[in-house]
Amino acid sequence: MVLADVATLADNHHRHRTFAANGNPEGITIRNLVDGETLTYSLALIRGRAPALCSYITVRGHKNVTSEWPIIAGQFRVLIDLARGPNKLELEAGGHKRRLVLIYEPRTTRLRVTPVYVICAGHDGYFQGPRNEDRSPESAATRIGLGARLLQTLTAEKLQEAGYGRKTFQLERDLDGPECLVMHSMLHVDQARAMKQRELWELIARELMTGPLASKDRKYLAFLSCTRYRGAPSPRTHEDTLARTQGHAALGGGGLALFGSACLHTWPTCMAQVLPRFLDATVIDTEQLMDDSNYRGTHGGCLATTLGSVLHELGHTFDLGHTREGIMGRGFDYVDRVFVGAAGIDFNRNPIRRDPQHTTVALSRPLSVTVTVQDLVLSSPRRGRLLSETSRPAPSSTSRQLPGRLSAPASPELNRSLSKSLIASEPLSQPDRTFWGPSCAALLAYHRWFNSEIDNRSNRYHHEIEYDGKRNVVRSRYGVRVIELRETSGGMVVGSRQFPGLRPPLEALVPPPPSHCLTTLILVAEDSTGNVLKHPLPTAF
């Protein structure tokens, strides 16, 4: 072979490699992000494709920190911790390289979600778990902080898929605060373990809003350190498990989502643990540890269900109701698939039962806790209110007290819907089964906690959205974005309308309830500036 032919082959090889690195299907392709994209959160999820024969993709990021992630069936999912400002990343697999710049810049806002670890009086702060796990308060705060960041990222990705861009809530850390705050409660551990979930929610809410962490610009994501599972040889139902668990909660509404810590030992403490923890097929010893895995019976199942449960209840603090499918239904069980992808499909899962467990309990309305401190467990004589600031109660002339019932996402009706949806084929657009329903996505996209303060500062204290019962319309001079009809009991969404685009209507007709709906309903609506209206509707309207 002559030298000219060798040079030509070398040149062609070089051009082939360059073309492959910049998007050839034989190289590395990034599917969900573009070069130079700005994210308002610090944990980036990169989804893409790489040569099928490769087993791992290596990522070099900030300060030349490298990590390896599996490639399954030619697909990969990578989590990267971003520093403020531009982040130059390099992905490499099978000799192919791809460069990517991502910019992390938090939004301009004071509205944030604040993770809190609550240590009761008389308790050392160590959560329940296997002896070989670090169960210290410091470890709890680390796990909670990382879990909150995973949910922040998931929320952004799912709103992007819904067509609203990567909107998500800001965390305390995005405003230069800590990953997770620690609150020493005046509630004694023995009292906490004897209380019901709603009682715990109300008391912790009072303490938060009368203590040094009180702020109307915060929604609290709190975990109780003192949760204790007392053991059972083989609990047949999740209700049996809950009956053996003290100091447990999975409750969200208003400005607080409160949880127990009995499964916190399954949560990762660092990025390197995220995938192994989701894929951990270790069987739970139910004589010693709580099984909150939707009957999967594994540590990885516990992580997926409890992390998803946290997102579900956090959704209630953002004024979301229940849906028959998706995150605000039982779809929260599948949050692991968002991060694991093909590596986790049908992995670590027992056959689907037709009686899904009642994992979380949710408040059917945002709780309002107005505090006048008289009890010994409260630490300050201040008055506070833990209520979603975006909520507008109905006018006093037409309002009536909404019952504060407790309801489970897995109600009998929802159970039937879930069983059908799991047996049916998965929609192509949602292979991981994790998504916000259409009205939930719209509510979040225009919610004040999801938008820069500068966008709605001038309107922050003006509640311009209202319901005209005579004409059966919702109107707002800022434009109506979403209307929902929810059942009073349980908060199930039974009808909705969304109004995307640049010119939403200034008034919109309320949709009729479904013919099979016999219960009383609540009207929930939101406008372009995040004003939220909640109004009880007559039995027939």
Confidence class of residue 466 from pLDDT cuts 50, 70 and 90? very high
Distance CA 468, CA 376 (A): 46
Confidence class of residue 376 from pLDDT cuts 50, 70 and 90? very low
Q: Tell the CATH topology of 112-362.
A: Collagenase (Catalytic Domain) (3.40.390)
Q: In the prediction, which pLDDT does 539 show?
A: 64
Is a pLDDT exceeding 90 seen at residue 403?
no
- What average pLDDT score do residues 28-49 get? 97
Confidence class of residue 343 from pLDDT cuts 50, 70 and 90? low
SS3 label, residue 307: helix
- From residue 512, give the alpha-carbon distance in Å to each of 333, 351, 492, 504: 31, 38, 15, 20
pLDDT in tens, 296-311: 999 999 999 999 999 9
Is a pLDDT exceeding 90 seen at residue 355?
no
- What average pLDDT score do residues 393-399 get? 36
Distance CA 487, CA 489 (A): 5
Confidence class of residue 438 from pLDDT cuts 50, 70 and 90? very high
pLDDT in tens, 96-127: 999 999 999 999 999 999 999 999 999 999 99
Mean pLDDT is lowest, of 99-108, 173-182, 340-349, for 340-349
Is a pLDDT exceeding 90 seen at residue 455?
no
- What average pLDDT score do residues 437-462 get? 79
- What average pLDDT score do residues 515-534 get? 91
Distance CA 281, CA 292 (A): 14
SS3 per residue for 137-171: HHHHHHHHHHHHHHHHHHHHHHHHHCCCCCCCCCE
- From residue 501, give the alpha-carbon distance in Å to each of 151, 450, 454, 528: 27, 17, 20, 11
Q: Do domains 29-104 and 112-362 have the same CATH topology?
A: no
Distance CA 70, CA 272 (A): 12
Is a pLDDT exceeding 60 seen at residue 422?
no
Mean pLDDT is lowest, of 25-39, 151-165, 182-196, 253-267, for 25-39
Q: Give CATH for domain 462-537.
A: 2.60.40
Taking the alpha carbons of 326, 332, 334, 337 in that order, is the dihedral positive or negative? positive
Q: Are 205 and 367 in contact (CB under 8 A)?
A: yes
* Residue 234 or 461, more confident: 234
* Residue 404 or 495, more confident: 495
- From residue 57, give the alpha-carbon distance in Å to each of 48, 54, 114, 143, 515: 10, 8, 34, 26, 53
The correct CATH number of 29-104 out of 3.20.20.70, 2.30.30.90, 3.40.50.150, 2.60.40.10 is 2.60.40.10
Taking the alpha carbons of 44, 47, 51, 53 in that order, is the dihedral positive or negative? positive
pLDDT in tens, 204-249: 999 999 999 999 999 999 999 999 999 877 778 989 999 999 999 9
- Determine if residue 140 is left, alpha or beta; phi over 0 gives left, psi from -120 to 50 gives alpha, anything else beta: alpha
Mean pLDDT is lowest, of 36-40, 149-153, 275-279, 415-419, for 415-419
Distance CA 267, CA 306 (A): 9
Please list the alpha-helical segments (H only) found in 291-385.
Answer: 299-317, 335-340
Q: Are 266 and 336 in contact (CB under 8 A)?
A: no
15 Cβ neighbours under 8 A, 6+ residues apart: none
What does the domain layout of the chain look like in residue ranges?
Answer: 29-104, 112-362, 462-537
Q: Are strands 112-121 and 181-188 parallel, antiparallel or unpaired?
A: parallel
Distance CA 452, CA 373 (A): 34
SS3 label, residue 535: strand
Q: Give the burial class of 179: count Cβ atoms within 10 A of its Cβ; 0-12 exposed, 13-18 middle, 19 or more buried.
A: middle
Mean pLDDT is lowest, of 159-168, 259-268, 416-425, for 416-425
